[in-house]
Amino acid sequence: MHVVCFGWVRERLGAEILVRERAATVLDLWSIITRDRSDLGDPRGRVRAARNLVYCDWETQIEPGDEVAFMPPVAGGSVDDAAGRRVRTALVTDPIDVGRLMDETRGDGDGAIAAFVGAVRNRNQDRSVHKLDYEAYLPMAERELFRIAADVTERHGLSALAMVHRIGSLAVGEVSVAVVAVAPHRQAALVACSEAVEALKRDLPVWKREHHADGAFWVDAREPDTGRNPDGDASTDERETRLGEATTGTDPLERDARAVIDASRLSHLDQSGTFRMVDVSDRPSTLRAAVAEALVRFRNPATLALLREGSPKGDVLAAARLAGIMGAKHTPELIPLCHPLPLTHLDVNVEVQDSPPGVHIVSSARCAASTGVEMEALTAAAVAGLTVVDMLKSADPWVTIESVRLLRKSGGRSGDVQRP
């Protein structure tokens, strides 16, 4: 079994452990890897476990080939003993106990505690909100949260500062974020608390999605300079990506990324909503070009060495490049309403990236036709990425295609368009 550790658990046991000894449960596995560490003892209450990327309890059954992770209950956090200041930051999936957080943060010499608590409310812009999903770019969010807390603590001379943010699905009324600033006097605590909340809303890579009766929508949490409502959930100043809203901007890609297109602009639907292939008979044939990319990320950094030394299945990069080119030629067979195009050029460039570990794929396609060649470029990038996954999945089962997107296109009525 493959064991990965995070936070202080990693510092005690190492980042990765390959366990060949049989273990029936997660707790048995913990006992095996800590048998020579009497200081670690019973992990319950101090360590959290996950099996195959899903949180689990200690009695969960495990099988050979599973990946089990051990981590602190919260991600991030530090103590600056030299300065006598306590900084605590956390991204958590469990409910936030604000009272306990305040008790654990304050000290006997602190005369002021300033706290901000953000909760999920049940309405936004006269629409009922059923729940919110919070998604984070975890490695970056952990660092940013601690950076914000350490900076605010230092500049305002706080005794302590705690910043905790929920991730995952939250019901109406649940606490989404809590900030507690502690200082000898009220002015420093009040100003620091407000500043920490503003920095969190501005810089923390955490996104939220509102669930309404008619669907779910990602919310842009950036706030304007006036009318702020930093309450941890959707406010009337936040912009949403949903059908029917108009946005500004002259670049078609920039405009369409946020707007949400009127149904009449969906060219593959007729007036009755039936699928159709667009008739391009009256359009002139022009030179069309498109460039797309795909990012493949490795969970196991050792996969990089395997790429360089050679996979048992052969040259991964060469196979991915060839598969991408072949896949693009079959685009109309894969995407049912695409026109067959007389492709005059296809290229797929596949490069290894060291940090973060993975593969960067860039594909380009050209033709002279009456319709665009974007789908061919996107298909090439996607198929190349899938080929990398297929050839490396036995060594890195959680290799992920992080994104497939169009970078730029030219030709036709839209002219030259580039992603902002």
Torsion from C-alpha of 99, 104, 105, 107, nearest 10 degrees: 110
Determine the Cα–Cα distance for residues 76 and 97; give it in Å rounded to an integer.
17
**146-151, long-range: CB < 8 A, 24+ apart:** 146/76, 146/77, 146/78, 146/87, 146/89, 148/89, 148/196, 148/199, 148/200, 148/203, 148/204, 149/87, 149/88, 149/89, 149/196, 150/78, 150/80, 150/87, 151/199
Q: Which of 300, 279, 264, 305 is nearest to 371 (CA)?
A: 279
Rounded CA gap, 194 and 188, in Å?
A: 10
305, exposed or middle or buried, with CB in 10 Å at 0-12, 13-18, 19+? exposed
Of 96, 239, 240, 105, which is closest to residue 173 (Cα–Cα)? Answer: 96
Annotated active-site residue 390? The verdict is yes
45 Cβ neighbours under 8 A, 6+ residues apart:
none
- Those residues with Cβ within 8 angstroms of residue 397's Cβ, 6 or more apart along the chain or in another chain: 67
Beta strands in 251-377 (DSSP E): 286-297, 343-353, 358-369
Dump the DSSP string for 56-102.
Answer: E-TT-B--TT-EEEEE-SSB--EEETTTTEEEEEEEESSPP-HHHHH
Choosing from 39, 97, 390, 396, the catalytic residue is: 390
From CA 269, how far away is CA 136, in angstroms rounded? 35
> Quick one: 165 exposed, middle or buried, by C-beta within 10 A (0-12, 13-18, 19+)?
buried
Identity of residue 177: V
Tokens in use for 113? 């505690």
Which active-site residues does the annotation give?
A: 390
